[in-house]
């Protein structure tokens, strides 16, 4: 029987990834960096910001701050000013300086390679750690028992639409657990970028372009086929509005 949208999720994963690889052959991290330290810094700065904005700030930043010690050598206000355009600059400055301090004290100034070590760095949650590992140390993804898949808003939404997870699309931890069971390990480093590119180009949150979608035949949420959008139907219902106060 040919695999189609009615096939169980484990049977659809490989054809979905294969079609997405063909559709987005360049899918990769959009942040620009030239070393693991720069990658960690850029991913910390990308929280609540866009990759494009971060990429406008980092060339000057990386020319000035070349090693972890450099982030501790300037007054806090100076670093805040240097990253100001990425937003939340006070918190991000704290994270960058804390990250630099832990790198120096615990890792001889080198960015560690395991996810369980990366998450010890201030400002580096599991998603960031997965991004840094797959971007800078791809050979570690298959060896590191703590390795995983970076789940952002696009990855969450598309996983749910494809029926790869039945969780709330915002529950990144549980979506990641579901994907880790379903996606072959050799794809862990790439799957996030494929879903991100697809989420930006075709499978947008508000109006997915199902008629133009390369995996439409494999998708149980296809609007083209008149199906309910699983991303909408699994979203948590909003709490009822409080009645207006009387008098
Ligand atoms: S068919 Fe529609 S909902 Fe399904 S992956 Fe494609 S664009 Fe998204």
Per-residue tokens: 106: 């615990």
Q: Does the Cβ of 219 fall within 6 Å of ligand 1?
A: yes
Tell me, in angstroms, the distance from the centre of ligand 1 to residue 213's CA.
Answer: 6
Q: Ligand 1 pocket, 221 CB below 6 A? A: yes
Active-site residue flag, 152: yes
Superfamily of domain 36-140: Hypothetical protein; domain 2 (1.10.340.30)
Give the pLDDT confidence of 15-69 residue by residue, as tens digits.
999 999 999 999 999 999 999 999 999 999 999 999 999 999 999 999 999 999 9
Every domain range in the chain assigned CATH 1.10.340.30:
36-140
202 C-beta closer than 6 A to ligand 1: yes
Rounded distance, CA 48 to CA 123, Å? 12
Q: What pLDDT is stored for residue 247 in this prediction?
A: 42
Q: What is the mean pLDDT of residues 83-94?
A: 97
Tens digits of residue pLDDT in 189-201: 899 999 999 999 9
For helices 188-201 and 126-136, the axis angle rounded to 10 degrees is 110
Going from the C-alpha of 8 to that of each of 14, 149, 156, 183, 211, the distances in angstroms are: 12, 21, 19, 13, 22
pTM for the structure as a whole:
0.87
Which residue spans of the chain are classified as CATH 1.10.1670.10?
A: 9-26+149-233
Choose, from 70, 144, 152, 229, the residue flagged as catalytic.
152
Instruction: Write the CATH number of the domain with boundaries 9-26+149-233.
Output: 1.10.1670.10
CB 225 within 8 A of CB 218: no
Ligand 1 centroid to 66 CA: how many Å?
43
């Amino acid at each position: 029987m040919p695999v189609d949208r009615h096939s169980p999720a484990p049977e659809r994963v490989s054809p979905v990834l294969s079609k997405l690889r063909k559709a987005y052959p360049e899918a990769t991290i959009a942040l620009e960096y030239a070393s693991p330290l720069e990658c960690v810094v850029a991913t910390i700065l990308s929280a609540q910001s866009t990759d494009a904005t971060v990429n406008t700030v980092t060339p000057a930043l990386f020319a000035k701050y070349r090693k972890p010690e450099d982030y501790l050598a300037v007054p806090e206000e100076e670093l805040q000013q240097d990253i100001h355009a990425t937003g939340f600059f006070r918190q991000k400055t704290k994270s960058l300086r804390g990250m630099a301090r832990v790198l120096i004290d615990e890792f001889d100034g080198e960015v560690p390679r395991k996810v369980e070590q990366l998450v010890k760095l201030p400002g580096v949650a599991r998603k960031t750690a997965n991004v840094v590992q797959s971007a800078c140390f791809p050979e570690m993804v298959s060896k590191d028992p703590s390795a995983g898949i970076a789940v952002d808003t696009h990855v969450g939404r598309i996983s749910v639409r494809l029926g790869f997870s039945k969780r709330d699309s915002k529950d990144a931890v549980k979506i990641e657990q579901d994907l880790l069971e379903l996606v072959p390990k050799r794809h862990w480093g790439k799957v996030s970028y494929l879903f991100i590119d697809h989420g930006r180009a075709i499978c947008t949150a508000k109006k997915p372009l199902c008629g133009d979608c390369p995996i439409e035949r494999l998708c149980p949420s296809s609007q083209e086929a008149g199906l309910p959008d699983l991303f909408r139907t699994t979203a948590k219902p909003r709490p009822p509005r409080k009645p207006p106060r009387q008098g």
